[in-house]
Amino acid sequence: MKEFRVVGKGIERPDALDKAMGKTRYVGDMNLPGMLYAGIFYSSLPHANIITINKHKSLEVPGVKAVLTAADIPGRNLVPLMKEDWPFLAENKIIYAGQAIALIVAETKDDLEKARSLICVDYEELDCVMAPEESLKPGAPQINPLGNLIAHYKVYSGDIDKGFSFADVVVQGVYETGYQEHAYLESQAFLAVPRQEGFLTVYGSMQCPYYVQNAVSTLLGLPKNKIQIIQAPTGGAFGGKEDFPSLFGGLAALAAQKTGKPVQLVLDRRDDIIMTSKRHPSRSYYRTGAKNDGTLTACEIKVYLDPGAYATLTPAVLWRCAVHCFGPYRIPHLKVDAYAGATNKVPCGAFRGFGTPKVIFAMERQMDKLARELNMDPLILREINCLKTGDTTATGQFLEWSVGLSETIEKARQLSAWDEKRKLFPSTTGTKKTGIGCSTFLYGVGLGAAGRKIDKAEARIQVKPDGSVLFAVGTTDMGQGMQTVLTQIVAEGLGGIAPETVHMLPVDSTRVGDSGPTVASRATYTSGNALLLCCKKILEKMKGCASSLFDITPDSIQAQNGFFYGISGLDPDNKTKHKKKLTSFSDLAEQCCNKHIPLSGHAVFDSPPTSWKQDTGQGKAYVTYSYATQIAEVEVDTETGEIELKDVWAVHDVGKAINPTQCLAQIEGGVLQGVGYALMEFIDLDEKGRINNPSFSTYIIPTSLDAPRIHPMLVEAAYPEGPYGAKGFGETPLMGMAGCIANAVENATGLDITKIPILPENILPRLSQK
């Protein structure tokens, strides 16, 4: 195997020091002369016709520069995401409590708040619907302007009835999962700045600059070459900065265009929680059959996601949900129907795992139920059924390579002392019960067949005459560490130069073309590959230059450790190739500059083909998959219902860890976010779909005190089409947590856990009955 100089090393994040020192300037830290502040007036009702918007008093507040409504929009009043259903500012109807109605622009934040409190809207209230299964019934009130059925996806393979007829055992269950708030540290934040010649720059905390560019272009009716979107340092996103930035970035731009001034739009936490997307709540119906030897024969699944009022990214979330809800298993007969039916609630959207954590929870509960019925060790049941290289998935995709699932199961088993604990725990006595549970799962890397149209990435590299390097990509770092990983890929790709000599430019829509959204754990894979294509072009040019300088064929030149070597055939004495140092990377860069050989590389990585048949749900859903096994050990206080999560073992097949330190940290973060999802996080809605707990003192997320001991481990089943073998995996560490924790709670208590979050108050009554 090739020796790497930079890849595979846990180098320090280039952004770490500034962040640790408080020097990083987020949008909220930016300030420009004459800058104005914008804020949004939103609906307090879930479903109503707007009779009048009275902005008169609001405009009288000194310092208020504008109060803008739908009538003030020069372009199209539709946020350009997956469907054309969602207005930037409500026109004559609102369909959820929290929907934007007016945009206020003022000199100070105080003026802004005063003006906001003086806007008065007359509504005619309408009947509302709060559950997707209700909204899809005939005769339900129409909520979404394009119809209540936001999407329906199927995955059908084999013959489901036959499949169940082969089964010796059938288990079923109904599973419910709740909302999850992204709880990024930095709220939604944008700064729009009018420039010369009708040009407009929008800085924002966001994942998808090209979505925001589309949004601004649509809203303002401006050509795209007049709009520059720059990603500001972004303090967390988790999917929550994929969809709503199109709304807020657009509105900030509108305010800037209308006033001719820089305008900052930063949401406070309350507004952010009330207005923006969350993880979709779900209810799913599972029926799973297996033979006595544990072999799965059939699985029938019906999933309902609650998308809230507008589609945002729900079709994509639902598709991924449909493709992941049957787990990483060989299932010959499968029938999946996944639905999203609009409700009068805040729109749900992208969230780390993108439709999968809810169904992994369900499927993994099913697997444990099956194991119990079969009296089989749950890990063994999974090992029997899990996908291996050479298998075909239930959507008909042949897995040619890089299936490290078995290895994650085996490693997790050993690490956690699973076998001993499964034997030991049932015999614990007392009021505190210990249990251990597992989950195994996969994650399709990248946008997959449903996102094929936008699944490309551009990159540019510029080598300066002193050998220092700049690069630009179109995917973003929102804290997940992309910048570090791509820096390493570039340093390695240019022949193992020092990563400190490589600098990533801020993501800027004018630097590279549309590179798709930064979601779906695709940044390392797509931008990494695009950068490697650039590196190749640059090395070729440098070798060409070295070739003429040192009179040696380009093929005989190797770049290594920041130097170029001439390799001459076999050395007769020691039977090894003879290697002669020709020049350093930086000296050769200078020579190239002098010879007018431009060391610029530009490339587009076009994701390999995928395929999908909408009617059967068959095809090559994703280019590749990441795999993982997670094991949780819990202690349940049967007197209080409190669950103490003690240990988590998380073994992840990442293809190749470009930066192992970051991979391990990514696991720790994901695990903890999964702990919140499984055990704590709960959006409290009133009967009108209004959020009762829009703050971090009432919406509880895990702190370090809630953290278990986390034992992360990596498996590297190299993906030949990934950069240095890497697959994406940023989302996976969260995904299996609800499943393994629920299974551990069952192991400890015998309770069939069918609903998350598993709150003490929910399980205590059942515990007392035991």
Of these, 272, 300, 368, 458, which contacts a second copy (CB under 8 A)? 458
The nearest distance, CB 489 to a second copy, in angstroms, is 16
The 8-class DSSP code of residue 387 comes to -
The nearest distance, CB 109 to a second copy, in angstroms, is 16
The smaller minimum CB distance to a second copy, of residues 57 and 602, is found at 602
Of these, 54, 117, 172, 225, which contacts a second copy (CB under 8 A)? 225
Whole-angstrom distance, CA of residue 671 vs CA of residue 674: 5
Of residues 322-351, which lie at the interface with a second copy (CB under 8 A)?
none
The smaller minimum CB distance to a second copy, of residues 193 and 338, is found at 193
Which part of the chain contacts a second copy (CB under 8 A), choosing from 114-122, 221-229, 623-631, 755-763? 221-229
Cα distance between the two ends of the chain? 56
Q: Does 18 bind a second copy (CB under 8 A)?
A: yes
Q: Does 513 bind a second copy (CB under 8 A)?
A: yes
The beta-strand segments (E) located in 7-108 are: 36-42, 48-54, 64-68, 93-94, 100-106
Q: Among residues 359, 381, 437, which one has the least CA distance to residue 741?
A: 437
The nearest distance, CB 460 to a second copy, in angstroms, is 8
Of residues 568-597, which lie at the interface with a second copy (CB under 8 A)?
593-594, 596
The nearest distance, CB 233 to a second copy, in angstroms, is 7
Q: Does 108 bind a second copy (CB under 8 A)?
A: no
The nearest distance, CB 244 to a second copy, in angstroms, is 23
The nearest distance, CB 505 to a second copy, in angstroms, is 6
The nearest distance, CB 328 to a second copy, in angstroms, is 30
The smaller minimum CB distance to a second copy, of residues 16 and 51, is found at 16
Instruction: Say which residues have a Cβ less than 8 Å from residue 766's Cβ, sequence separation at least 6.
Output: 751
Q: Does 380 bind a second copy (CB under 8 A)?
A: no
Give buried/exposed letters for 572-591 (b at 16+ CB in 10 A, else e): eeeeeeeeeebbebbbbbeb
Amino acid at site 720: P
Whole-angstrom distance, CA of residue 144 vs CA of residue 343: 8
Q: Does 540 bind a second copy (CB under 8 A)?
A: no
Q: Does 464 bind a second copy (CB under 8 A)?
A: yes
The nearest distance, CB 217 to a second copy, in angstroms, is 7
What number of chain residues touch a second copy (CB under 8 A)? Answer: 49
Q: Among residues 452, 736, 475, which one has the least CA distance to residue 622?
A: 452
Q: Does 31 bind a second copy (CB under 8 A)?
A: yes
Q: Does 76 bind a second copy (CB under 8 A)?
A: no
Q: Does 226 bind a second copy (CB under 8 A)?
A: yes
Of these, 100, 469, 535, 538, which contacts a second copy (CB under 8 A)? 469
Beta bridge partners of 204: 190, 231
Q: Does 197 bind a second copy (CB under 8 A)?
A: yes
Whole-angstrom CA distances from 383 to 371, 395, 754 are 12, 20, 23
Sheet strands side by side (includes 600-606): 502-504, 469-473, 456-463, 600-606
For the chain, what is the radius of gyration of the CA atoms? 27
The 8-class DSSP code of residue 676 comes to I
Whole-angstrom distance, CA of residue 166 vs CA of residue 624: 30
Beta-strand relationship, 577-584 and 563-570: antiparallel
H or E segment and range at residue 133: helix 132-135
The smaller minimum CB distance to a second copy, of residues 31 and 54, is found at 31
Contact between 644 and 760 under an 8 Å Cβ cutoff? The reply is no
Q: Does 498 bind a second copy (CB under 8 A)?
A: no
Q: Among residues 523, 360, 339, which one has the least CA distance to residue 443?
A: 360
Q: Does 456 bind a second copy (CB under 8 A)?
A: yes
- CA 488, 490, 491, 495 dihedral sign is positive
Instruction: Say which residues have a Cβ less than 8 Å from residue 3's Cβ, sequence separation at least 6.
Output: none
Helices in 300-443 by DSSP H: which ranges? 314-324, 357-374, 378-385, 405-416, 418-424
Which part of the chain contacts a second copy (CB under 8 A), choosing from 19-27, 335-343, 412-420, 632-640? 19-27
The nearest distance, CB 458 to a second copy, in angstroms, is 6
Contact between 689 and 130 under an 8 Å Cβ cutoff? The reply is yes
Site string for a second copy, 592-631 (x = CB under 8 A): -xx-x-xxx-x-x-x-------------------------
Of these, 99, 188, 217, 659, which contacts a second copy (CB under 8 A)? 217
The 8-class DSSP code of residue 613 comes to B
The smaller minimum CB distance to a second copy, of residues 426 and 465, is found at 465
Q: Does 503 bind a second copy (CB under 8 A)?
A: yes
Q: Does 389 bind a second copy (CB under 8 A)?
A: no
What residue ranges bind a second copy (CB under 8 A)? 14-15, 17-18, 23-25, 31-33, 196-197, 199, 217, 223-226, 233, 453, 456, 458, 462, 464-470, 472, 501-503, 505, 510-514, 593-594, 596, 598-600, 602, 604, 606
